[in-house]
Amino acid sequence: MTVTVVQGSGDKVRTTSINLPTSASVKELKKEFAKATGKSVHRISFKLEPGAADKKEQVRLEDDNKSLDSYGVKESTKVLFKDLGPQIGYRLVFLLEYFGPMVFVLFYSIRPAFIYGADAATKEYDWVARAGVVCWTLHFLKREYETLFVHKFSRPTMPLSNLFKNCVYYWTFGAVIGYPLCSPGFKAPAETVAYAGLVIFAVAEVGNLICHLMLSSLRPAEGSTARTIPSGFLFDFVACPNYTFEVLSWVGFSIMTQLPLAYLFTLVGFLQVPFGRFLQAARLVAFSHRPLPASTVPSRPSRTLASDGRLGDEEAQRLQEVVRRCLRQAAPRGHHSLPVLEGHGHDTFPPNAEVGGVGRCSSVVGGQRVSMRIKKER
């Protein structure tokens, strides 16, 4: 079949015709388009505009391993190209952003004379300051280890701009926290407070590592987009326990050192992570076609979606419960409205309704509107 790829808009519209077998995947289309245009395959993104391939709304061809036919792409279908811009490897970004904070703090720890004064290096370290340096370094060493040997990335690259954004965040806080932590004038809190913070930090770091190992085991290989609903440990009670432990680690570090900037670092990290990651977890549950664990939907037996591609009333209500539970876990109770599934004007799907794009879940979480589509893959 021939797929027409459209680039640009207005007077600058260009089209490229790509010949592919009918069973071709999105990845094959990207490779052939890259050969035809000389663009890096990592910069290529495709989407279908509303009306194309009988789609009522814009559809992104996000899964490289899915066939074009599954997205409704047929002979002479027009596919829109978007240049994602300069890209950089996921793993490299993580390695660089975690390396900077360690370098800053370890550099401060030798107490350079041009920063702290000529006699600073001869002054004795308070054990809390030394423990803070060790904890900080071990945390980012753990992250480097996880990046190299634990995490499995579904995509090979991300926008190059993310490198600068992530590095500015981590490197800046490494610079401003390392300075007072390693200063000869550092004043430690009471020992009971310091020990309490140290214990919280240590337990949370172990918990975070366990969560990452569990999540890694659910993805079969690097580059796979397969997602399984995690269960066990704290996954039955918290939407993203890996981030719960991440925040607790820095809470413990802040309690131990009593540095105002450490508390600010914890707060900024808390505000920028939970919503996006929660939404990712909620989408995982909503889009999963596997049996739902009993712990996820209490007092209801686990069942898969109907094999004929239709969704019954009971299944729709079960999916609604799952998304409700995810939202409760991610948002403070009583502060945000809970979602309602909408299909053909009803609160839940009518019996045996076609699933393709019918179901919607909408709610306000953290001041933002969350909309999810419940869909059975064809």
pLDDT of residue 246: 94
3-state secondary structure the chain: CEEEEEECCHHHCEEEEEECCCCCEHHHHHHHHHHHHCCCHHHEEEEECCCHHHCCCCEECCCCCCECHHHCCCCCCEEEEEECCCEEEHHHHHHHHHHHHHHHHHHHHCCCHHHHCCCHHHCCCCHHHHHHHHHHHHHHHHHHHHHHHCCCCCCCEEECHHHHHHHHHHHHHHHHHHHHHHCCCCCCCCHHHHHHHHHHHHHHHHHHHHHHHHHHHHCCCCCCCCCCCCCCCCCCCCCCHHHHHHHHHHHHHHHHHCCHHHHHHHHHHHHHCHHHHHHHHHHHHHHCCCCCCCCCCCCCCCCCCCCCCEECHHHHHHHHHHHHHHHHHHCCCCCCCCCEEEECCECCCCCCEECCCCEEEEEEECCEEEEEEECCCC
Residue range 218-269, pLDDT digits in tens: 888 887 777 677 888 888 787 788 989 999 999 999 999 999 999 999 999 8
CATH architecture of 2-83: Roll (3.10)
Residue intervals of the chain classified under CATH 3.10.20.90 are 2-83
Q: Which residue has the tokens 């549950």?
A: 285
Q: Tell me the average pLDDT across 19-46.
A: 92
Residue range 298-310, pLDDT digits in tens: 333 333 333 333 4
| Prediction pTM value | 0.71
Least reliable range by pLDDT among 19-28, 88-97, 105-114, 222-231? 222-231
pLDDT at 151 over 50: yes
Least reliable range by pLDDT among 89-93, 271-275, 335-339? 335-339
> What letter represents residue 60's amino acid?
R
Separation in Å, CA 37 to CA 17, 42, 60, 188, 291: 11, 13, 20, 61, 43
pLDDT at 347 over 80: no
Residue 204: closest CA among 243, 153, 149, 168: 243
Q: Tell me the average pLDDT across 325-329.
A: 51
CA atoms within 13 A on the CB side of 206: 6
Residue 170 in contact with residue 101, Cβ under 8 Å? yes
Residue 87 in contact with residue 159, Cβ under 8 Å? yes
